[in-house]
Amino acid sequence: MSSIDTALEANKLFALDYDPSLISPRPRLHLAVLTCMDTRLSRRALGLGPGDAHLIRNAGGIVTDDAIRSLLVSHYLLGTQEFMIINHTDCGLMKATEEELHRTIEQRAGIPANSPVRFHAFSDVEKNVREQLRKLAEHSWVRTETITIRGFVFEVQTGNLREVS
């Protein structure tokens, strides 16, 4: 059975106990978290339950245009007031340069990219978090006088979050 079919079977059981009145689409803690898609990061690492926060996840926890779009929707439409940006140690994007990633994937795919991809590879995780904070604050609709924005590194060896100042 494919993993998707396994997930669909599990969803049938999930739906039996599902109560739509329990979770508001407006995050209870007025919090949005931008972090990596990595398996080792989860809501549990922050003590967050269902309904507490928006979780925005991409490769690396990078402040891309898409992440900014999501954070703007989160704040202006759904009332979040605090943004956490979390990168992590041992990230896949730290293991190769931009050029190496392009070369590897082009070889594996056997075909050039028909649309450009920038992977946002990085080598220094703390510096990378600072760079994401800087990019976010640059957008005129991210009003730092009304939104609290803080950056963190998640240490995959210890499970600890470390603030980047």
Within residues 103-132, the interface with a second copy by CB under 8 A covers 104-106, 108-109, 111-115, 117-120
Give the shortest CB-99-to-a second copy separation in angstroms.
Answer: 15
Q: Give the contact letters, 139-158, x = binds to a second copy (CB under 8 A), - = no.
A: xxx-x----x-x-----xxx
Please, which residues bridge with residue 153 across strands?
Answer: 87, 162
Distance of CA 122 to the CA centre of its chain: 16
**Rule CB under 8 A: is residue 3 a binding residue for a second copy?**
yes
Identify which of residues 100 and 124 has a Cβ nearer to a second copy in the complex: 100
Give the shortest CB-7-to-a second copy separation in angstroms.
Answer: 4
Instruction: Write the CA distances from 34 to 37, 61, 87, 104, 152, integer angstroms.
Output: 10, 6, 9, 27, 10
Give the shortest CB-165-to-a second copy separation in angstroms.
Answer: 13
Report which of 80, 91, 69, 81 is spatially closest to residue 136, judged by C-alpha positions.
69
Q: Which residues, 6+ apart, have CB-to-CB distance to 139 below 8 Å?
A: 68, 72
Which residue in the set 122, 137, 161, 164 belongs to the binding site for a second copy (CB under 8 A)?
161
Which residue in the set 8, 99, 103, 123 belongs to the binding site for a second copy (CB under 8 A)?
8
Q: Give the contact letters, 70-99, x = binds to a second copy (CB under 8 A), - = no.
A: x-xxx-xxx---x-x-----x-xx-x----
Rounded to the nearest 5 degrees, what angle is found at the Cα of 41, between the Cα atoms of 35 and 47?
A: 95
Give the shortest CB-151-to-a second copy separation in angstroms.
Answer: 10
Rounded to the nearest 5 degrees, what angle is found at the Cα of 143, between the Cα atoms of 138 and 145?
A: 120
**Rule CB under 8 A: is residue 62 a binding residue for a second copy?**
yes
